[in-house]
Amino acid sequence: MAKPMTKTQLVAALAEEMGSDKKTAGAALDAVVAIINREVATGGAVTLPGVGKFYCRERPERMVRNPATGEQMKKAADKQVKVTVAKALKDSVNG
């Protein structure tokens, strides 16, 4: 498996693709990430066409087991960020 692309590499590739400098590309990437964070944190969803959908899912209170002691305990309700991968991305990877 290849190493994951770092933010620096992503900014450089984005700058090249945009035909812009790295500072502008970095600002664009930071803006997109900030928008996704803000929208998902408020319970909304963001769809990036060709990539996927980011959304927040609420999980109910449930019983969990402590793996060290085997003790059952109640875990409070919480929220979980989910990503659904777009069909276009799946198809490009698989074929």
pLDDT tens track for 58-94: 999 999 999 999 999 999 999 999 999 999 999 999 9
Kindly list the domain boundaries of the chain, sorted by start residue.
Answer: 1-42, 45-95
- 21-36 pLDDT, tens digit each: 999 999 999 999 999 9
Residue 57 has pLDDT above 80, yes or no: yes
Residue 95 has pLDDT above 90, yes or no: no
Q: What is the DSSP string of 30-49?
A: HHHHHHHHHHHHTT-EEEET
pLDDT at residue 83, rounded to an integer: 96
pLDDT at residue 56, rounded to an integer: 95
Q: Which CATH fold would you assign to the domain 45-95?
A: HU Protein; Chain A (4.10.520)
Closest CA to 33 of 91, 88, 81: 81
